[in-house]
Amino acid sequence: MVIYEVNIEVDGAAAEEMAVWMKTHVREMLEFDGFEGATWYFLDPEAGRQRWSIHYQVDSWKHLNDYFENHAEAMRQDGLNRFGGKFSANRRILYEREQFKQ
């Protein structure tokens, strides 16, 4: 399992409209091969900006790499076309090493 994490900071004035769009965007992401689920986290707001972290659960690096090579540019551009200048985003990939349970 690979976690594809997308961290977003969005201007407070655009946050409500972007949140509505984000629900559709996440559902579109889950249509790609290997994308099995997503969790949307809200972080503490910071100086008039909302902060979100979306964790996509992807079954393999192969499927994530296919997304990067064939779909990422168009998916990112959609957000820029709608909300360019009103948000910033950064991404990282998390690989599971171990699980600890009580």
The count of structural domains within the chain is 1
pLDDT at res. 46 = 79
Q: Which H or E element spans position 54?
A: strand 49-58
CATH code, 35: 3.30.70.100
Q: How far apart are CA 75 and CA 61, in angstroms?
A: 19
Domain that holds residue 78: 2-95
Q: Is residue 49, in this structure, part of any structural domain at all?
A: yes
Q: Is residue 101, in this structure, part of any structural domain at all?
A: no
For 95, residues 6+ apart whose C-beta sits below 8 A from its C-beta are 2, 3
Q: Is residue 102, in this structure, part of any structural domain at all?
A: no
Q: Is residue 12, in this structure, part of any structural domain at all?
A: yes
pLDDT at res. 58 = 98
- For the chain, which ranges sit under pLDDT 50? none
pLDDT at res. 34 = 98
Q: Global pTM?
A: 0.92
